[in-house]
């Protein structure tokens, strides 16, 4: 299935540069045989790479859970400040404080819910015979917290030739300094407008390695890939995963897109 067509910014904030084009024959500048985690699966038809939009699972629940409980308690024990305003000289201060409390509670609840519902893996499949990519995409919305329509796994498929790997850099003091993320943008081939932009990797090294693996596979097949040092990971197997990952939902592709992403056009 495809995502609904929409138009995004040509470049998102903090864009730095693009990685080599999908048809580029540029030689990878690094050795990625020891990349960890290695690809989930690879055969003559498709390659599957692991992905996680949250690098540390459980942080939002560990920190946000107590904050959320405290905020709910504060709202309950604030008589006359939230639902029944005390008409004193400082009533506008009380109203502002109550609204800020609600906004903070809503924002915290969003991150806690995302931490709980995010799948243990959000893989991307590259089918070289169909020349398509299939994303196990988790969607969420900051405003519609309780909407089933705006939350959950919604797999999408795009043409490989419409994909661009973009590098984004931002300096964040106190968070490790320079942060380099890699995103995948998808363009409408008819208008050249960006219709979707999805997360790829948390750092440039992994982004360059995964992108080089995907390009080599799509251009030349599995024979062009090295023998990876680390064995592939079955993310639905609890062995070796953190407690929070074990609680996370397992990966279950819808039957139709699962079959299409793993087979040749004639199958």
Identify whether 90 is preceded by a cis peptide bond (ω within 30 of 0).
no
**Are 126 and 239 within one domain?**
yes
91-117 and 59-76 helices, crossing angle to 10°:
150
Q: Are residues 155 and 226 in the same domain?
A: yes
Torsion of CA 65, 147, 4, 180, to 10 degrees: -10
One domain, residues 149 and 243: yes
* Residue 158 sits in the same domain as residue 250: yes
- The reported pLDDT for the residue numbered 254 is 96
Tens of pLDDT, residues 125-140:
999 999 999 999 998 7
Mean pLDDT in residue range 214-225: 96
6 within a domain of the structure (yes/no): no
> Considering the domain boundaries, does residue 7 fall inside one?
no
Residue labelled with tokens 């020891």: 34
What pLDDT score does 109 carry?
Answer: 79
Count of domains observed in the chain: 2
pLDDT, tens digit, 9 for 90 and up, residues 70-118:
766 666 665 544 455 454 556 566 667 667 777 777 777 777 787 788 8
Q: Average per-residue pLDDT in the chain?
A: 85
Nearest to 51 by CA among 162, 153, 193, 174: 153
Shared domain check, 166 and 36: yes
- Give yes or no: residues 111 and 130 share one domain: no
Q: 105 and 22 in one domain?
A: no
Q: Which pLDDT value is given to residue 262?
A: 97
Dihedral sign for Cα atoms in the order 59, 62, 67, 69 = positive
What local confidence, expressed as pLDDT, does residue 218 receive? 97
| Domain of residue 29, residue span | 15-53+122-262
> Looking at the predicted structure, is the pLDDT value of residue 205 above 80?
yes
Tell whether pTM > 0.75.
Answer: yes
């Amino acid at each position: 299935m495809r995502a609904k067509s929409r138009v995004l910014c040509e470049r998102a904030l903090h864009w730095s540069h693009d990685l080599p084009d999908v048809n580029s024959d540029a030689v990878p500048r690094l050795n990625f045989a020891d990349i960890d985690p290695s690809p989930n699966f690879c055969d003559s038809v498709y390659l599957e790479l692991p992905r996680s939009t949250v690098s540390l699972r459980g942080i939002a629940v560990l920190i946000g859970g107590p904050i959320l409980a405290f905020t709910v308690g504060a709202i309950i024990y604030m008589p006359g400040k939230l639902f029944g305003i005390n008409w004193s000289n400082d009533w506008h201060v009380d109203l502002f404080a109550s609204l800020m409390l609600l906004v903070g509670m809503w924002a915290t609840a969003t991150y806690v819910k995302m931490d709980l519902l995010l799948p243990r893996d959000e893989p991307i499949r590259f089918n070289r015979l169909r020349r398509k990519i299939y994303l196990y995409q988790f969607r969420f919305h900051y405003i519609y917290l309780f909407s089933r329509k705006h939350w959950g796994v919604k797999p999408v498929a795009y043409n490989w030739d419409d994909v661009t790997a973009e590098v984004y850099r931002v300096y964040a003091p106190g968070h490790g300094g320079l942060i380099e993320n890699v995103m995948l943008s998808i363009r409408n081939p008819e208008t050249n407008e960006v219709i979707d932009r999805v997360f790829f990797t948390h750092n440039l090294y992994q982004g360059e390695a995964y992108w080089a693996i995907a390009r080599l596979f799509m251009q030349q097949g599995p024979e062009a890939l090295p023998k990876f040092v680390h064995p592939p990971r079955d993310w639905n197997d609890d062995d070796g995963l953190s407690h929070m990952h074990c609680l996370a939902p397992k990966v279950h592709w819808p039957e139709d897109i699962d079959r299409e992403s793993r087979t040749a056009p004639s199958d």
